């Protein structure tokens, strides 16, 4: 039987070899995701992600080398126990690093199919453009956008600059796009979250809400607590107009128990109010229109009498102030916007329905086939498609097919660029 030190050293050596070998495999980008998936990234995005992931793997490898050296130098029981503590620390660091790398690997793997890769590159471009349109005017760097596909109802974003599992900062705005909304405008909501994080928009709008609602203390803090989602909805609106409201409606529509759901502390507004706030954004920018029919149907299909008493009271108290809140969303000057409002930075007139339809009438089929127009008007093309689907749903399949075609072209241009 070996002595105690030899027995401990053997067990430690086996574990150190196991974990250092596992760490070395994380440095192989092609083991994380197939080469075919990496090729579906734009070059600048490929370089950005590879550089950050390689950095995480390299830092882990350096930690592994220190662990190996500590084991080689240890001789006494005390020193071996210290190595065991280092080993436990390394295991934790490995798992955090693996979570970071696996997150990006899973996102990149969704691009293995060439056509889907092109569509996601188009989504990258649209999300990036929506952020750059704001941030360029504020002299702020626009982060690259990496979109990836999942199932389910809700999209989300892992914002650039926020800490990842291994303690490093996220190098890109990683936006989860849902399969059912791949051709929708929901990614503009998620890019709005990134804008808010970089400008302090959420906190400033919350302060403005508190001032405007000071006479209604029962709802003040609740609305202020919803601003993180409201600014994202507003960002989507100024870029896509009514299409953003129709898309939001279709995501949050459901049973009355869902539409009237109020969860204290949840940053998502009650869906019933959230949709009506979107309708009010349309009214303040465009007057009357198809959003009025949406609101009529929304109220009729979801009778407020079916809401829980607490939610119903909150909704009734909120309805009279929705016009004021919509005005603040669009017109409130923000320090983070250098004294301007979001409607100054991104004029919602660009996506007024009549202007979108006029653009389509003027440019004809070239709008959907010309590489120049697709590249130049990608954001407004997205808004136009959403408007068409919302107002002529019988043509939805045709419109989605048309949108898929121009997004595939846009994705091809992005890769070439």
Question: Does residue 178 share a domain with residue 63?
Answer: no
Which band of pLDDT confidence, cut at 50, 70 and 90, is reported for residue 28? confident
Question: Does residue 104 share a domain with residue 215?
Answer: no
Overall average pLDDT of the 45-51 stretch? 80
Least confident of 14-23, 187-196, 258-267: 14-23
Confirm whether 383 is domain-assigned.
no
Asked if residue 180 has pLDDT above 60, the reply is yes
* The pLDDT value given to residue 46: 75
Asked if residue 1 has pLDDT above 70, the reply is no
Q: Which of 246, 125, 242, 275 is nearest to 191 (CA)?
A: 125
Phi/psi of residue 304, nearest 5 degrees: -60, -20
Question: Does residue 265 share a domain with residue 193?
Answer: yes
* The pLDDT value given to residue 39: 78
If one counts the domains in the chain, the total is 2
Cα radius of gyration rounded to whole Å, the chain: 25
Question: Among the three residues 90, 112, 134, which one is the final residue of a domain in this structure?
Answer: 112
Q: Which domain holds residue 332?
A: 116-349
Asked if residue 96 has pLDDT above 60, the reply is yes
Overall average pLDDT of the 172-187 stretch? 88
Question: Does residue 219 share a domain with residue 77?
Answer: no
- Render the burial of 165-200: b for 16+ CB within 10 Å, e for the rest: ebebebbbbbbbbbeebbbbbbbbbbbbbbbbbbbe
Whole-prediction pTM = 0.89
Question: Among the three residues 315, 349, 383, which one is the final residue of a domain in this structure?
Answer: 349
* The pLDDT value given to residue 83: 87
Question: Does residue 120 share a domain with residue 87?
Answer: no
User: Residue 395: in which H helix or E strand, if any?
Assistant: none
Least confident of 57-71, 327-341, 378-392: 57-71
Asked if residue 31 has pLDDT above 80, the reply is no
Question: Among the three residues 112, 138, 164, which one is the final residue of a domain in this structure?
Answer: 112
* The pLDDT value given to residue 414: 58
With H, G, I as helix, E, B as strand and everything else as coil, classify residue 131: helix
Between the alpha carbon of residue 218 and those of residues 156, 319, 322, the distances in Å are 30, 13, 15
Between the alpha carbon of residue 152 and those of residues 66, 248, 404, the distances in Å are 43, 15, 20
Question: In the predicted model, what is the mean pLDDT of the chain?
Answer: 92
Question: Does residue 340 share a domain with residue 193?
Answer: yes
Question: Does residue 317 share a domain with residue 283?
Answer: yes
With H, G, I as helix, E, B as strand and everything else as coil, classify residue 224: helix
More confident site: 274 or 40: 274
Which band of pLDDT confidence, cut at 50, 70 and 90, is reported for residue 245? very high
How far apart CA 81 and CA 414 sit, in angstroms, is 54
Overall average pLDDT of the 31-53 stretch? 78
Confirm whether 213 is domain-assigned.
yes
Confirm whether 404 is domain-assigned.
no
Confirm whether 403 is domain-assigned.
no
């Amino acid at each position: 039987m070996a002595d105690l030190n030899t027995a401990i050293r053997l067990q430690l050596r086996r574990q150190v070899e196991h974990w250092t070998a596992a760490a070395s495999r994380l440095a192989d980008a092609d083991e994380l995701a197939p080469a075919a998936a990496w090729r579906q990234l734009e070059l600048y995005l490929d370089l950005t992600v590879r550089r950050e992931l390689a950095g995480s793997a390299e830092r882990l490898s350096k930690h592994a080398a220190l662990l190996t050296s500590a084991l080689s130098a240890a001789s006494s029981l005390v020193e071996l126990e210290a190595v065991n503590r280092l080993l436990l620390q390394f295991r934790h660091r490995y798992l955090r690093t693996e979570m970071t790398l696996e997150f990006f690997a899973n996102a990149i793997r969704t691009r293995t199919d060439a056509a889907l890769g092109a569509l996601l590159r188009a989504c990258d471009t649209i999300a990036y453009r929506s952020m750059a349109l704001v941030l360029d005017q504020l002299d702020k760097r626009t982060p690259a956008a990496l979109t990836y596909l999942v199932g389910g109802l809700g999209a989300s974003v892992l914002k650039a600059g926020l800490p990842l599992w291994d303690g490093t900062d996220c190098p890109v705005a990683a936006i989860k796009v849902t399969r059912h909304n791949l051709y929708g405008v929901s990614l503009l909501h998620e890019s709005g979250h990134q804008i808010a994080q970089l400008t302090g928009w959420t906190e400033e709008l919350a302060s403005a809400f508190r001032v405007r609602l000071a006479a209604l203390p029962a709802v003040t803090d609740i609305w202020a607590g919803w601003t993180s989602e409201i600014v994202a909805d507003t960002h989507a609106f100024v870029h896509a107009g009514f299409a953003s409201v129709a898309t939001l409606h279709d995501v949050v529509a459901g049973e009355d128990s869902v539409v009237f759901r109020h969860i204290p502390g949840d940053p998502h507004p009650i869906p019933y109010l959230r949709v009506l706030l979107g309708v009010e954004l349309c009214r303040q920018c465009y007057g009357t229109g198809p959003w009025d029919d949406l609101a009529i149907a929304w109220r009729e299909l979801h009778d407020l009498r079916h809401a829980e008493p607490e939610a119903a009271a909150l909704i009734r108290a909120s309805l009279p102030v929705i016009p004021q809140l919509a005005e603040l969303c669009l017109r409130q000057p923000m320090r983070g916007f250098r004294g301007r409002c979001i409607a100054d930075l991104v004029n919602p007139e660009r996506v007024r329905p009549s202007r979108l339809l006029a653009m389509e009438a003027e440019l004809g089929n070239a709008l959907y086939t010309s590489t120049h127009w697709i590249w130049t008007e990608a954001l407004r093309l997205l808004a136009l498609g959403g408007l068409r689907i919302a107002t002529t749903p019988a043509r939805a399949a045709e419109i989605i097919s048309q949108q898929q075609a121009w997004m595939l072209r846009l994705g091809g241009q992005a890769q070439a660029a």
